[in-house]
């Protein structure tokens, strides 16, 4: 077995034609720090969550020297060693995004070296395709609420016309727009009226609310038959989540801001949510996402991975989704994003409301080196 001889961080960036917002921020570009790990002739690809700044330096200056010479198939050992060493170096701050980027690349590499898909290495596929929900319906640069509502409704109709049977929209307008919780509910009501009762609706507040507003909004979302209310409140408020979960009929979902098994375990033990949403790039890679999925299974909860990355994150998430029990949903980002759409030689696309899961070694995609060079910003 070849040993690891190169670990490189590759920063990618592309400005968007039109900016959009969720409750946290305006998004005017998409930026990723990919991780490439080489062992002999094989290459594995991973992706860190968040901005390039910080991730790139840690991957190249801290992680790379520790990985060179190690057996790339010892993925969980390397994952655990990295978490341990980062904790001793950075104390309360363990950069899960860095661990995630490296871990995904190692799983990809392990699969390629063994000639097996990551799903196969995780215990085998339960499905060849997964039902996807269309994530979109972000806030736009418009002057009136009527214009925002019209744009969001038009987008929802477009997704249903394309075959999607589940949609997720954004709420939490008060932080970055002149509107507030009344208009948040009005957006969901307008989508419900436009698409009818048969479409599954999910709503994401990106932890915008205080406890009282979260309760007020959650009661009204239950009346609109929303399947889950995502991140109503800030991620650190586990006890507040638990009280909210008790008080509301609508199910709560969260996890994109939690990392490693410990944070998810505290949420499960508190009864914080019905749906756990680990993200392969931010929770600590495929290793952590698979461990969170096991935790969910043992607590009789569903894990629906959060996905908002490039083609690498999407492909890695699909490998985990292939293995989950029950009826998992893929978060399928529908915002325009050339890095997500063009980076893989064979792009991952939907067929109506399902996305086929590649069954090739590793995470199942081949990175297009010409496209990579085009988006690269170092
Ligand atoms: Mg979210």
For 216-238, the DSSP string reads HHHHHHHHTTEEEEE--S-TT-H
Distance 256 CA to ligand 1 centre (A): 6
Q: Are 288 and 260 in contact (CB under 8 A)?
A: yes
- The predicted pLDDT at position 69 comes to 98
- The predicted pLDDT at position 277 comes to 98
Kind of pairing between the strands at 129-135 and 354-356:
antiparallel
> Residue 319 pLDDT > 90, yes or no?
yes
pTM here is 0.98
Kind of pairing between the strands at 200-204 and 166-170:
parallel
- Give the whole-angstrom CA distance, residue 279 versus residue 357: 17
Distance 308 CA to ligand 1 centre (A): 9
Q: For the sheet with 26-39, list strands across it.
A: 4-21, 26-39, 42-48
Distance 112 CA to ligand 1 centre (A): 31
Average pLDDT over residues 100-107: 98
Residue 197: partners with Cβ closer than 8 Å, 6 or more residues away: 225
Distance 274 CA to ligand 1 centre (A): 15
> Residue 378 pLDDT > 90, yes or no?
no
> Residue 183 pLDDT > 90, yes or no?
yes
Distance 203 CA to ligand 1 centre (A): 9
> Residue 92 pLDDT > 90, yes or no?
no
Average pLDDT over residues 301-328: 97
Which tens digits make up the pLDDT trace of 37-72? 999 999 999 999 999 999 999 999 999 999 999 999
Average pLDDT over residues 115-132: 98
Distance 205 CA to ligand 1 centre (A): 7
- The predicted pLDDT at position 90 comes to 93
Q: Are 7 and 60 in contact (CB under 8 A)?
A: yes
Neighbours of ion ligand 1 (CB under 5 A): 204
With residues binned 3-state (H G I as helix, E B as strand, rest as coil), the percentages for the chain, rounded to 5, are 45, 20, 35
Counted residue by residue, the chain has a size of 378
Choose between 92 and 364: higher pLDDT: 364
Q: What percent of the chain has pLDDT over 70?
A: 100
Which tens digits make up the pLDDT trace of 246-272? 999 999 999 999 999 999 999 999 999
- Candidates 86, 25, 32; CA nearest to 55 is 32
Catalytic residues: 306
Where, residue-wise, is CATH 3.30.390.10 in the chain?
4-118+370-375
Distance 265 CA to ligand 1 centre (A): 19
Where, residue-wise, is CATH 3.20.20.120 in the chain?
121-366
Average pLDDT over residues 133-160: 98
Distance 309 CA to ligand 1 centre (A): 12
Q: Are 135 and 308 in contact (CB under 8 A)?
A: yes
Average pLDDT over residues 292-311: 97
> Residue 108 pLDDT > 90, yes or no?
yes
Rg for the chain (alpha carbons), in Å?
A: 20
- The predicted pLDDT at position 101 comes to 98
- Give the whole-angstrom CA distance, residue 302 versus residue 292: 10
User: Taking all residues of the chain, what is their mean pLDDT, rounded to a whole number?
Assistant: 97
- The CATH number of 4-118+370-375 is 3.30.390.10
- The CATH number of 121-366 is 3.20.20.120
> Residue 1 pLDDT > 90, yes or no?
no
Neighbouring C-beta atoms of residue 114, cutoff 10 Å:
14
């Amino acid at each position: 077995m070849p040993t690891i001889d190169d670990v490189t961080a590759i920063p990618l960036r592309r400005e968007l034609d039109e900016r959009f917002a969720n409750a946290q921020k305006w998004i005017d570009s998409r930026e990723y720090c990919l991780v490439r790990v080489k062992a002999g002739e094989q290459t594995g690809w991973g992706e860190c969550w968040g901005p390039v700044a910080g991730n790139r330096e840690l991957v190249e200056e801290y992680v790379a020297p520790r990985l060179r010479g190690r057996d790339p198939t010892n993925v969980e050992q390397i994952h655990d060693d990295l978490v341990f060493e980062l904790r001793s170096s950075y104390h309360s701050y363990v950069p899960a995004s860095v661990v995630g980027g490296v871990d995904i690349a190692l799983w990809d590499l392990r699969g390629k070296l063994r000639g097996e898909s990551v799903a196969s290495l995780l215990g085998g596929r339960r499905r060849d395709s997964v039902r996807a929900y269309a994530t979109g319906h972000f806030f736009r640069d418009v002057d009136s609420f009527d214009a925002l509502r019209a744009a969001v409704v038009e987008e929802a109709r477009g997704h249903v016309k394309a075959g999607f049977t589940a949609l997720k929209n954004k709420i939490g307008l008060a932080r970055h727009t002149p509107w507030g919780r009344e208009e948040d509910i009005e957006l969901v009501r307008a989508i419900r009226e436009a698409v009818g009762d048969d479409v599954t609706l999910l709503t994401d507040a990106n932890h915008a609310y205080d406890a009282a507003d979260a309760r007020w909004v959650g009661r009204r979302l239950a009346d609109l038959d929303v399947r889950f209310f995502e991140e109503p409140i800030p991620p650190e408020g586990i006890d507040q989540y638990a009280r909210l979960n008790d008080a509301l009929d609508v199910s709560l979902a969260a996890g994109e801001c939690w990392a490693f098994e410990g944070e998810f375990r505290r949420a499960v033990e508190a009864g914080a949510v019905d749906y756990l949403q680990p993200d392969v790039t931010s929770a600590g890679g495929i290793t952590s996402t698979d461990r969170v999925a096991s935790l969910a299974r043992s607590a009789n909860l569903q894990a629906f991975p959060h996905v908002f990355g490039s083609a690498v994150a999407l492909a890695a998430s699909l490998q985990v989704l292939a293995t989950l029990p029950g009826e998992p949903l893929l978060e399928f980002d529908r915002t325009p994003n050339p890095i997500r759409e063009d980076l893989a030689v064979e792009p991952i696309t939907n067929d109506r409301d399902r996305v086929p899961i590649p069954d090739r070694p590793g995470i199942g995609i081949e990175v297009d080196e010409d496209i990579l060079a085009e988006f690269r910003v170092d």
